[in-house]
Amino acid sequence: MKNKINKIFSNKKILIGVIILLVLGLFVYKLNFTKSIETPSFPNQTVESLTFTDASILDNKLTVIVKNDTENDYNLKTIDVSFVDSSGNTITTIKGYVGNTLKSNDSKKLVVQTDKDISNTSSITYNINK
């Protein structure tokens, strides 16, 4: 009888230990996940007649919506995207592409990625190449 009681308590200790490890693991995972999705807020910009909105950086990848706010189609080749730190230094510049033509009042998602660390970006500049 005493052996059965000891076995039950021993199994409960193991079960409690496993539950504690799972809870701690989920807590650490949640902290890391929350940290990785934090992104600074970048103001909307208009360059020539294209508007850049909802810019966000996650894992060295920029996603931004590019909209042609004019009544005419807009022809372009590429967009130079420069990431600038708080001291005004350019971290890196990447060429992005949304197609040769943005139709009137149409928008497309521009996604550019780099192997450089752009997590310290405080502002983004766009240069349109026609």
Segments forming the whole domain that contains residue 77: 45-129
Q: Identify whether residues 30 and 51 lie together within a single domain.
A: no
Query: What is the distance between the alpha carbons of residues 9 and 116, in angstroms, rounded to a whole number?
Result: 53
- Please name the residues in contact with 107: beta carbons below 8 A apart, sequence gap of 6 or more: 65, 66, 67, 68
**Do 95 and 125 have their domain in common?**
yes
- 3-14 pLDDT per residue, tens: 555 555 566 666
What is the Cα gyration radius of the chain?
Answer: 25
Q: Do 123 and 81 share a domain, yes or no?
A: yes
pLDDT (tens digit, 9 = 90+) per residue, 16-67? Answer: 766 777 677 666 666 655 444 455 689 999 999 999 999 999 889 999 999 9
| Average pLDDT in the chain | 84
Please spell the DSSP secondary structure of 53-96, one letter per residue: EEEEEETTEEEEEEEE-SSS-EE-SEEEEEEE-TTS-EEEEEEE
**Residues 124 and 96 grouped into a single domain:** yes
